[in-house]
Amino acid sequence: MHRLLFLIVFFISINVFSRPVSYTGGTTFMAMNNGDRISSHVHYSPKYFYSLGYRFEYWKDKDYVNHFLQGNYLVERFNNIDSQANIYLKTGIGTSTYLEGDKDYNKSYFISGSADWETQKLYSNYEVRYSDIENIEDFILHSGALGFAPYVGNYGDLHTWVLYAFQYNEDKNKNKLTHGPKLRFFKNTNLIEIGINNRKDLILNLIIRY
Amino acid sequence: MRKNIIIILTILSALTFSSFSHDGENHSSEHRLKLDYKASVGTIDPNGKIIRVNVKGLVCDFCARAIEKVFMKEKSVAGLTVNLEEKEIKIFTKKGMNIDDDIIREKIKDSGYIVSSIERI
């Protein structure tokens, strides 16, 4: 049942946008398959600097799911002539359960901080997240990406980015570090990211923004 | 005397014609100006106003879609165009309608950006 649920959530919520806040009054849907987990996040921004929503995660290696009520807050945005940078805080509280075996719901929460910086040619982001999943695990996860645009498109053009992403889980004994290239394409409000990491996991993010 | 009247009338006619023709040229060039623009979203009302807004942080097409979403909810806006290279948007208002600078600043802020200048063309 849970497997069916996350598959439904994953395939329905391919309408996503990777920013944790949107414009005032905007609703955002996001979904990612980034190797160790499948996740989706739906949020609404009453104002441009914060959003409230729901996050679903399926962690593949330990076979459990998280359901979080999530809040995102834009701490600071640096709007410059040729660049934009953002600092965000995110937190979620909810429940977690294994898909097989003990199916008790456990209390869980996470807190994270992230930053990004981009121009029309360069992109970078970094996030650190602490998760505490009662009776299952707690861990600190670092992730980020660096990239460049091979050409600069104007509004409405097909935009292409070449990115190199990494993820480092401090609390894992093996596969602490995963990394690999990915390509990002977007046109208008449609975005797709495809890549592969050093464990040969497929990275696939499909995004549509409304 | 008759000669003088004819000369004066001729000069006045010439000046009047010149004035009308100059005015006509202005209208024509203004019309051409509007025809030169293409709205990224919505339409351009040839009788509306054009407002050029320079925006800080306008680097990403995907993120700039917020500007469309926010401004197209305004009743006075017929359309707009976004130029990432110039970091500017042009707002095309409907005939007889306007949008205040303060509202433009607020809408740009709601979209996640900051206005650096506003110019009415």
Residue B99 and residue B112 in one domain:
yes
Length of chain A: 210
Residue B87 and residue B59 in one domain:
yes
Q: State mean pLDDT over A22-44.
A: 87
CATH number for B76: 3.30.70.100
Are B57 and A80 within 8 A, CB to CB? Answer: yes
Task: Pick B27 or B54 by higher pLDDT.
Answer: B54
Q: Which of A143-147, A174-178, B3-7, B36-40 has the lowest mean pLDDT?
A: B3-7
Q: Within an 8 Å CB–CB cutoff, is residue A122 touching chain B?
A: no
Contacts A152 to B, Cβ<8 Å: 85
Show the domain range for B93: 38-120
Report the number of distinct structural domains present in chain B. 2
Are B59 and A84 within 8 A, CB to CB? Answer: yes
Residue A133 is predicted with a pLDDT of 95
Burial of A79 (0-12, 13-18, 19+ CB in 10 A): buried
Q: Within an 8 Å CB–CB cutoff, is residue A113 touching chain B?
A: no
| Each residue's pLDDT tens digit, A47-67 | 999 999 999 999 998 899 999
Residue B46 and residue B89 in one domain:
yes
Q: Which domains does chain A have, with CATH numbers?
A: 2-208 (2.40.160)
| Each residue's pLDDT tens digit, A111-159 | 999 999 999 999 999 999 999 999 999 999 999 999 999 999 989 899 9
Q: Is the pLDDT of residue A12 over 50?
A: no
Q: State mean pLDDT over A185-201.
A: 88
Per-residue pLDDT band at B34 (split at 50, 70, 90): low
pTM, to two decimals: 0.81
> Which CA distances in Å does A164 have to A15, A118, A128, A182?
23, 15, 17, 6
Residue B42 and residue B98 in one domain:
yes
Contacts B82 to A, Cβ<8 Å: 155
Residue B65 and residue B87 in one domain:
yes
Contacts A209 to B, Cβ<8 Å: 62, 65
Residue B31 and residue B85 in one domain:
no
Q: Which of A195-209, B30-44, B90-104 has the lowest mean pLDDT?
A: B30-44
Contacts A206 to B, Cβ<8 Å: none
Give the type of residue at A62.
Answer: K
